[in-house]
């Protein structure tokens, strides 16, 4: 079982930036991909972005493409989500998740079996 811990959330003004971190406790050889999802207030959780550990491919939701960047630090077993040009509609609880099976870019939550506890991001207007 992969354990994930997110950090870096907080309050930021519109147009600002935040960087979220997702630290994995398990050996990275057991992880095929890590994704970020978010759940805005009163809405369902939605896909934000993901990175494939084996080929480095990245995937983004249209709503964040060009503003958010996902990256990975192998030495630290950590995946980062750099969020730029933040908008009030980006306000949500952000969670990272790991896939321990072959990953081909699925945006479904069911492709990811291990989840972090989530971190709150609030963007004020």
Provide φ and ψ at 8, rounded to 5°. 105, 0
C-alpha distances in angstroms, 11 versus 60, 92, 105?
A: 23, 11, 30
Angle at the Cα of 2 (from 41 to 7), degrees rounded to 5? 45
Structure token pair of residue 54 = 């084996």
Poorest-pLDDT segment among 14-18, 62-66, 70-74, 118-122 = 70-74
Q: What is the pLDDT of residues 79-107, one digit of tens each?
A: 999 999 999 999 999 999 999 999 999 99
Q: What is the pLDDT of residues 34-50, one digit of tens each?
A: 999 999 999 999 999 99
Task: Tell whether the model's pLDDT for residue 27 goes beyond 70.
Answer: no
**Model pLDDT, residue 26:** 65
In whole angstroms, give the CA distance from residue 14 to residue 27: 37
């Amino acid at each position: 079982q992969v354990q994930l811990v997110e950090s870096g959330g907080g309050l930021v003004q519109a147009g600002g930036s935040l960087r979220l971190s997702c630290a994995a406790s398990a050996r990275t050889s057991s992880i095929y991909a890590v994704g970020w999802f978010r759940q805005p207030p009163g809405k369902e959780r939605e896909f934000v972005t993901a990175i494939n550990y084996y080929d480095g491919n990245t995937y983004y939701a249209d709503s964040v493409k060009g503003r958010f960047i996902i990256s990975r630090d192998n030495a630290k077993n950590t995946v980062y989500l750099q969020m730029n040009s933040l908008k009030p509609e980006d306000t949500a609880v952000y969670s990272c998740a790991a896939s321990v099976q072959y990953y081909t870019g699925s945006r479904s939550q069911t492709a990811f079996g291990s989840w972090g506890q989530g971190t709150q991001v609030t963007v004020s207007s």
